[in-house]
Amino acid sequence: MTKFNVPDMSCGHCKAAIEKSMAAADSAAKLEFDMEERTVVIESVLADDALTAALKDAGYDSSIV
């Protein structure tokens, strides 16, 4: 489980884009969003760099918290 700061995530559209990208990378991934803090916790079998790449594919820069 890894927590990412996603500074440009601000709305439901952002959340949907991230969910779609993560589902494509790992359909079993579990995501927990905190829109106020602009963070997402991702539980996945993928390595952190693959998760970062999936967030980037969704259009969002991120950093591990």
- We report the CATH number of the domain holding residue 7 as 3.30.70.100
**Angle, helices 48-57/12-25, rounded to nearest 10 degrees:** 130
Nearest to 30 by CA among 16, 45, 17, 10: 45
- For the record, the structure tokens of 25 come out as 């990378």
Entry pTM: 0.94
Q: What is the mean pLDDT of the chain?
A: 97
Q: What is the rounded CA–CA span in Å between residue 11 and residue 53?
A: 20
Number of domains making up the chain: 1
pLDDT digits (tens, 9 = 90+) for 4-29: 999 999 999 999 999 999 999 999 99
Domain hosting 59: range is 2-64
